[in-house]
Amino acid sequence: MTQITWPGLLLLLLCANAQAQERIYRCGNVYTNTVTEAQAKNCKLVEGANVTVVQGTRPASQPAPKQASSASAGPRVASQEQKSRDSDARLILQSELKKAEARQTELLKEYNNGEPDKRGDEVRNYQRYLDRVAELKASLARNESDMAGIRREIERLPASGSTR
């Protein structure tokens, strides 16, 4: 009786797997495993990789994407109404800017040039204090960035007829 070892069994399985794979030929965007068809169309043999082809349906012709023109972008708004909208947007942005500036003032006061007052729970735990300082610094930077963004938005609005 013949004894089969694990390495021998593994080698046998690998050889069987290698023989099971057929040669695949590529003819442009089409793949085939028929030798006569591949020779007739001058197809190239695909080596070193498994090929998976998924059959699907493709529309014969896809319509070209339409480019939006300024006339089809949407209904036009009367100039007086647009001025009113711009004015409202400016007021909203200015109020948001005032809130952000007030918040910045509060944060700067609390930050105290990088040395905020310690709270009761931070006296014994210095790491909490350091974490709060880092959080305040990040909040200051974020709020400054927000204010810069609001200022840019205000600058993008058309100039209003009246100035504050």
Whether the full predicted model's pTM is greater than 0.75, yes or no, is no
The pLDDT of residue 164: 45
Q: pLDDT of the chain along its 164 residues, tens only?
A: 556 676 665 555 555 555 556 788 888 888 888 888 888 888 888 887 666 667 777 666 666 556 555 555 678 888 899 999 999 999 999 999 999 999 999 999 999 998 999 988 888 999 999 999 999 999 999 999 999 999 999 999 988 655 44
To which residue do tokens 């004015």 refer? 87
d(C-alpha 140, C-alpha 116), whole Å? 13
Secondary structure (3-state) at 155: helix
| Closest by Cα among 31, 37, 67 to 49 | 31
| Closest by Cα among 74, 93, 80, 99 to 164 | 93
